[in-house]
Chain A
Amino acid sequence: MQSNQTFADVFKAGGVSRRDFLKFCTLTSVYLGLSPSMVPSIVHAMEKKPRTPVIWLHGQECTCCSESFIRSSHPTIEDIIFNLISLDYDDVLSAAAGNQLEDVRRKTMKDYKGKYILAVEGNASTKDDGVYCMVGGDSFLNTLKETAADAAAIIAWGACASYGCVQNAHPNPSGAAPVSDIIKDKPIIKVPGCPPISEVMTGVVTHFHTFGTLPELDRMGRPKAFYNTRIHDKCYRRAFFDAGQFVRSFDDEATRKGWCLYKMGCKGPTTYNSCSKIQWNGGTSFPIGSGHPCIGCSEPNFWDRGPFYSRLAEVPFLGSDSNADKIGVVAVGAAAAGAAAHAAVTAVKKAKAGNEDNDKA
């Protein structure tokens, strides 16, 4: 195992010139939101520090995070960064399989005890001892706990590992639980999204490798560099939002003009991610850029906050799907009906009392 090689060594062996290497470091510092003075630190870390070993586990997931990761954007680097991380275990990408691969995982855990990063893609089934997700002959729940025990830190890739995603959407038949519900004693970086943006993923790994610490996290455990602002805050259609120019149907004139998708259910105003800044596939586009409202895939439980094409969530209420406004109107109606009924009873009582008084008189 080439465990002591630095990033720079591997770049060199791969035929990457020093100029390209420095370009990569500079770009990474930009993505991480670091000042230009930090570039030498990144270069230093890449040249001098041995590569950080990474164990990448796959639980209940669709591999879209891996798919995103391998498309990291810098053209000459996209596959190289993938090869450069000392990715010691990844059951999806490894050539080896079966016992051979599981041995590698155990060896890495032993050799780099307390030093390796555990990257988790997907989440674990917790119902019935986790039998609904079996990997390598054991439940993923056990594998996750076992591998997490000696990890320096855990990166929860994607909505699955961060919040649960579609697996723990209602009614959650397999008892799927995000990593933070299972592992409580390790620092966890949540990198939500379905999938997360590739540059966000490589950025988080690079930050950890460069500084040896977790990036600054927000209240929800996400790296602030990428999840500090909403899609809405940097959206290029924001001017149409402020002007009140909204798309009202997917085939209207406003759609062709590229107006704001707020009324089409866009979750941009409530979704923290970098899509409107970094964009996808090397800056090609992002959902709103392609005319589709944001579905809020990097927000907790976004599957249960639907429908995607309406601003107001539907909630199960009195046996049928409803939303806040319907509940509100029903409640106001009930209050009005109650007041009217009370008034009627009051009137009847008063009339009766009046009659009695008259009878007495």
Chain B
Amino acid sequence: MGRIIEEIYVWRLPVRLYHWINALTTAALFITGMYIAAPLFNPPLGEAVLYKGFSWWRYLHFAAGFIFIANFLFRLYWALFGEDKYARFGGFRPWSPTWWGTPFREQVESYLFLRSDEPNYVGHNPVAALAHFVFIFCGSSFMIFSGLAMYGENNPGGFNSVWFGWMIPLFGGSYTLHFAHHLFAWIFPIYLIMHLYAVFRHDVVDRTSVTSSIITGYKHKVEEEPS
């Protein structure tokens, strides 16, 4: 193991808290959501009035959903006003052609084994930023809007139904919106696999302790040595 030559505080506490709350609520939402779509457990016997089995699953889903939304909004706030140079939106400019220029291309080439060296970033590299925008920002936004629209169906004319109910005609009916919500839930396990793989790989290849950085907050630069 090489000697640590530099220690950088990358992920500040709000970012780490966001990350783990997001991870836990996403997992809870996926599991409870899949259960709601296809309840597997054996039904309880006896009077229906004695049981709240299925509404408990839905309750967990809604509760996790609201924590997820609050956490997501907090992260947006942090990205916009947190003055945290590793966690802000500032550097991410996909509308500008220069953003897609050399750094992005080099990173893609590196992932495709078209170049031997690994560009090294302390925060997110441009490809990671794009992946987070697509999966976490767009994906979560869609799940939040569609989720609140469907939650609003429980109370027609209420807040969620008024502010998010337009999603239902947009998707051609409640059933189609449920379907889209169900289908897009799958982007989270897909993201999880890509995310974990990328993290572990960077840890092995770049040896920047990226894996432990989401717990401790610190990334390290280590002395080069032949492997």
* Chain A residues near B (Cβ < 8 Å): 219-220, 228-230, 233, 239-246, 254, 259, 262-263, 267, 269-272, 296, 299-302, 305, 311-313, 324-325, 327-329, 331-332, 335-336, 339, 342-343, 345-346, 349-350, 353-354, 357-358, 361
- B168 contacts which chain A residues (CB < 8 A)? 219-220
Residues of A contacting B154 in the complex (Cβ-Cβ under 8 angstroms): 233
- CA of A311 to CA of B182 in the docked complex: distance in angstroms? 11
Q: Of B34, B44, B226, which contacts A244 at CB under 8 A?
A: B44
Count B-side interface residues using an 8 Å CB cutoff: 48
- Give the secondary structure class of B's interface: helix
B20: Cβ under 8 A from any A Cβ: no
Q: Is B98 an interface residue (CB 8 A)?
A: no
Kindly list chain A residues whose C-beta atoms are within 8 Å of the C-beta of B179: 305, 312-313, 324
Q: Which of A228, A244, A302 contacts B41 (CB 8 A)?
A: A244
Flag B175-200 by CB within 8 Å of A: 1 or 0 each. 11011001101100110011001000
A242–B55 touching, CB < 8 Å: yes
List of A residues within 8 angstroms of B91 by Cβ: none
Smallest CB gap from B34: residue in A: A325
Contact across chains for B226 and A354 when beta carbons are under 8 A apart: yes
Question: Is there contact, CB below 8 Å, between B178 and A270?
Answer: yes
Chain B residues contacting A228 (CB-CB under 8 Å) are 156-157
Add 18 more A-B contacts to A219-B165, A242-B54, A299-B174 (CB < 8 A): A219-B169, A220-B169, A239-B49, A243-B44, A243-B55, A244-B43, A271-B174, A300-B173, A300-B176, A302-B175, A305-B176, A325-B37, A329-B186, A335-B190, A339-B197, A346-B113, A346-B204, A353-B116
Q: Nearest Cβ in chain A — how far from B144, in angstroms?
A: 19
Nearest chain B CB to A117 CB, angstrom units: 24
Q: Give the 7 A-B CB pairs with smallest separation, nearest first.
A: A328-B186, A244-B53, A244-B54, A243-B51, A339-B197, A270-B174, A270-B175
B175 touches A346 (CB 8 A): no
B40 to chain A minimum Cβ distance, whole angstroms, is: 10
Q: Least Cβ distance of B147 to chain A in Å?
A: 14
B186 engages A346 (CB within 8 Å): no
Pick from B51, B186, B189, B194: contact of A324, CB below 8 A.
B186
Q: How far is the CB of A361 from chain B (nearest CB, A)?
A: 7
A198 to B172, CA, bound (A): 25
Q: B1 an interface residue at 8 Å Cβ cutoff? A: no
* B45 nearest in chain A by CB position: A245
A350 pairs with B227, CB closer than 8 A: yes
Beta-carbon contact of B201 and A343 below 8 Å: yes
Contacting residues, chain B, for A312 (C-beta < 8 A): 37-38, 179, 182
A245 and B189 alpha carbons, distance in the complex (Å) = 29
Which residue from A240, A241, A311, A342 sits with its C-beta under 8 Å from B38? A311
Q: How far is the CA of A324 from the CA of B180 in the complex (A)?
A: 8
Residues of chain B within 8 A (CB-CB) of A305 are 173, 175-176, 179
Known: A239-B48, A324-B179, A328-B185. A342 touches B197 (CB 8 A): yes
In the bound complex, residues from chain A placing their C-beta under 8 Å from that of B109 are none
From known contacts A263-B39, A357-B226, infer whether A324 and B173 are also in contact, taking CB-CB under 8 Å: no
Over the window 48-88 of chain B, the binary record of Cβ atoms lying under 8 Å from chain A Cβ atoms (1 yes, 0 no) is 11111111010000000000000000000000000000000
CB–CB B186/A327 < 8 A: yes
Q: Which residues of B contact A239 (CB under 8 A)?
A: 48-49
Chain A residues with CB under 8 A of B205: 346, 350
Looking at B57, B165, B226, which has the most chain A CB atoms within 10 Å of its CB? B226
For A330, give the chain B residue with the smallest CB separation: B186
Contact present for A230 and B49 (CB under 8 Å): no
Whether B193 pairs with A245 at a CB distance below 8 angstroms is no
In whole Å, how far is B108's beta carbon from the nearest beta carbon of chain A? 13
Q: CB distance B186 to A332 under 8 Å? A: yes
B166 within 8 A of A: yes
Please tell me if B153 contacts chain A, counting CB pairs below 8 Å.
yes
- Chain A nearest CB from B44 CB (Å) reads 6
Inter-chain CA distance A302–B176, complex, in Å, is 10
B55 — nearest CB in chain A belongs to which residue?
A242
Nearest-neighbour CB distance to chain B for A312, whole angstroms, equals 6
> B37 near A299 (CB under 8 angstroms)?
no
CA of A329 to CA of B176 in the docked complex: distance in angstroms?
20
